């Protein structure tokens, strides 16, 4: 065991924050891509990978649902990060000096109100933590970074304004990936599956019927194209419960009848964040 967890992005990214909060005793390994974070686990440089899958404001993370079934890894946990956005500058800079805000384009779109109020022009950076790193290196008082507080502390920036996001609910969900599956005991549990339905009329409707008749709650269902084929659609679903629960077993058995393939990506404990917002 390496006691290392990988993530995509620079040190100080929100993925880094998720790693630190969920696994405070593990070392972190930043990677350039999601594929790189997965490869670090598969070749033994990391024990786990932290991957973002969806955001409450912008929906699912692009390409991640295509990647998950192909990784060969298993989901063993989930974690939610409340995305607080901070404006950070070179120490000693005053707010009235700032003319531009540098960050990932998605984050810039979440702070329109604050930027407009202070007549600050958005400027697109590669990512959030990378923008903080750039601002620290450039030492230009006219350019601020929009990023996490963690990024500011890593790169020695001073915070001018905290929690400037327009949407106060803005939250990102992460999945923890491992080479081996886990079967946690106790507490509320979840199962994540991917499947393709058979090419017959009302196949999806019939496949979903098993969850309704057996009282299994489906928390998420998304579809996406596979292989560039307009007739081949794969579905990603999160359900409450786990294989071994009679109701879940019956629902999955019925689902399997209407699918060409069905894969279980992980069985894991439900994060406490879900119950806190119910």
Going from N- to C-terminal start, the domains of the chain cover: 4-82+171-178, 86-161, 189-276
Contacts of 140 (CB under 8 A, 6+ apart): 90
Q: Would you state the pLDDT for residue 143?
A: 97
159 part of the active site: no
- CATH superfamily of domain region 189-276: ACT domain (3.30.70.260)
- In this prediction, residue 184 carries a pLDDT of 78
pTM, 2 dp: 0.91
Regions of the chain where pLDDT drops below 70 = 226-232, 277-278
d(C-alpha 235, C-alpha 248), whole Å: 17
pLDDT in tens, 180-216: 998 777 789 999 999 998 878 888 888 899 999 999 9
For residue 229, the model assigns a pLDDT of 64
Other Cβ atoms less than 10 A from the Cβ of 216: the count is 20
Q: What is the pLDDT of residue 154?
A: 97
What fold does the segment set 86-161 form as a domain? D-Maltodextrin-Binding Protein; domain 2 (3.40.190)
pLDDT at 84: 94
Our answer to whether residue 174 is catalytic in this structure is: yes
According to DSSP, the residues that pair with 197 across neighbouring strands are 259
**Catalytic, out of 23, 80, 174, 195:** 174
Domains 4-82+171-178 and 189-276 belong to one CATH topology? no
Single out the catalytic residue among 71, 93, 128, 172: 172
pLDDT value for 228: 62
Looking at domain 4-82+171-178, which of 3.50.50.60, 3.40.190.10, 3.10.450.230, 3.40.50.970 is its CATH number? 3.40.190.10
């Amino acid at each position: 065991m390496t006691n290392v967890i990988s993530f995509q992005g620079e040190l100080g990214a929100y993925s880094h924050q998720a790693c630190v909060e969920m696994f405070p005793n593990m070392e972190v390994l930043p990677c350039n891509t999601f594929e790189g974070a997965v490869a670090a686990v598969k070749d033994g440089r990391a024990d786990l990978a932290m991957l973002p899958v969806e955001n409450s404001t912008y929906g699912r993370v692009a390409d991640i649902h295509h990647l998950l079934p192909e990784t060969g890894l298993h989901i063993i946990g989930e974690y939610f990060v409340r995305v607080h956005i901070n404006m950070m500058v070179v120490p000693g800079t005053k707010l009235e000096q700032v003319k531009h805000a540098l960050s990932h384009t998605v984050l810039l779109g979440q702070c329109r109100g604050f930027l407009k109020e202070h007549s600050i022009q958005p400027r697109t950076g590669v990512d959030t933590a990378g923008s903080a790193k750039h601002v620290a290196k450039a030492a230009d008082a006219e350019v601020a970074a929009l990023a996490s507080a963690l990024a500011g502390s890593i790169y020695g920036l001073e915070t001018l304004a905290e929690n400037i996001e327009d949407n106060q609910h803005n939250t990102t969900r992460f999945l923890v990936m491992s080479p081996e599956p886990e079967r946690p005991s106790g507490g509320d549990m979840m199962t994540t599956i991917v499947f393709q339905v058979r090419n017959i009329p009302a196949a999806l409707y019939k496949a979903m019927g098993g969850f309704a008749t057996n009282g299994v709650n489906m928390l998420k269902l998304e579809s996406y194209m596979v292989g560039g084929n307009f007739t081949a659609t794969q579905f990603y679903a999160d359900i409450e419960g786990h294989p071994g629960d009679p109701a879940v077993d019956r629902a999955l058995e019925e689902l399997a009848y209407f699918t060409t393939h069905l894969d279980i990506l992980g069985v894991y404990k439900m994060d406490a964040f879900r119950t806190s917002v119910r």
